[in-house]
């Protein structure tokens, strides 16, 4: 696994710990999560600086302002409940 050279902010209890060819790893309040590009395509082919700039805007709700992506912890833990649909 390749770790990003730009660490995420620690102020909100969230850090991007790795960026791989398959997805990203985040550490959120002491628990690690993997966000696969198949489930979270907004992160694919993005510079590490944009991926690592993440904030917890409300408890359990993460926001990547440079990508305009916001995800709840429920979506991260259970992406199968929130399938991506073309409209």
Alpha-carbon torsion angle 19, 22, 26, 30, nearest 10: -120
Could you read off the pLDDT tens digit of each residue along the chain, which spans 87 residues? 444 444 444 445 899 999 999 999 999 999 999 999 999 999 999 999 999 999 999 999 999 999 999 999 999 999 999 988 655
CA distance 70 to 73: 10
Global pTM reads 0.81
Domains and CATH numbers, the chain: 14-81 (3.30.2020)
Q: Is residue 51 a contact partner of residue 64, using CB atoms and an 8 Å limit? A: yes
Half-sphere exposure of 82 (CA within 13 A, CB side): 12
* Beta strand spans in the chain (E): 14-19, 23-28, 31-36, 55-58, 61-64, 69-72
């Amino acid at each position: 696994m390749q770790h990003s050279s730009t660490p995420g902010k620690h102020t909100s209890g969230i850090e991007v710990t790795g960026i791989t060819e398959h997805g990203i790893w985040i550490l959120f309040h002491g628990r690690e999560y993997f966000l696969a590009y198949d489930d979270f395509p907004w992160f694919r082919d993005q510079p590490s600086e944009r991926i690592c700039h993440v904030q917890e805007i409300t408890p359990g709700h993460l926001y990547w302002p440079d990508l305009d992506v916001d995800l709840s912890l429920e979506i991260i833990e259970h992406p199968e409940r929130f399938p991506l649909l073309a409209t």
